[in-house]
Amino acid sequence: MSINKYTCSGNLTRDAEERVTNGGMTILSFTVAVNDRRKNPQNGEWQDYPNYVPCVMFGKRAEAIAGYMKKGVKVCIEGKIRQSKWESDGETRSKIEVVIDEIELMSRQAQPIMTNNDEIPF
């Protein structure tokens, strides 16, 4: 048996990119910056080393959350790691990304402008 589960929290590096397939499925792509804190061996000081985690969400939940996903927003994500492969110009290319199962917005920046009758859609 194997387990494929990834959890982290970090900040969006840029506004999420929303697109819709020909079949009407919403795809939301974004990158989360996650710092790895470790001691610098040369001077002994703690430093942050950023890791950039590409993420993707699908469907109605992706559509509902798209307006909240702006650069700098802090999120906590949970999902599974997926590798995609494809051919381009005769070369095999690949990428690794996290397919989001759960997401939590953790910063005030994530609050959109709402009218008094609007509800948060998730």
**Dist. CA 56–CA 29, nearest whole Å:** 5
- Relative to beta strand 46-58, strand 91-105 is parallel
Asked if residue 119 is part of any domain, the answer here is no
Bridge partners, 98 (sequence order): 55, 81
Asked if residue 15 is part of any domain, the answer here is yes
How high does pLDDT run on average in the chain?
A: 89
Asked if residue 104 is part of any domain, the answer here is yes
Give the CATH number of the domain where residue 93 resides: 2.40.50.140
**Dist. CA 70–CA 72, nearest whole Å:** 6
Structure confidence at residue 111 (pLDDT): 56
**Dist. CA 54–CA 84, nearest whole Å:** 12
Asked if residue 122 is part of any domain, the answer here is no
Domain carrying residue 32: 6-37+47-110
Asked if residue 60 is part of any domain, the answer here is yes
Contact (CB, 8 A) for 18 and 1: no
The number of distinct structural domains making up the chain is 1
Note the pTM of the prediction, 2 decimals.
0.81
What is the tens place of the pLDDT at every residue in 107-121? 875 555 444 444 545
For residue 40, give every residue at least 6 positions away whose Cβ sits within 8 Å of its Cβ, in sequence order, or none: 46, 47
Asked if residue 71 is part of any domain, the answer here is yes
Can you tell me which residue has the tokens 């110009």?
A: 89
Asked if residue 20 is part of any domain, the answer here is yes
**Amino acid residing at 117:** N
Structure confidence at residue 116 (pLDDT): 43
**Dist. CA 49–CA 36, nearest whole Å:** 5
Asked if residue 78 is part of any domain, the answer here is yes
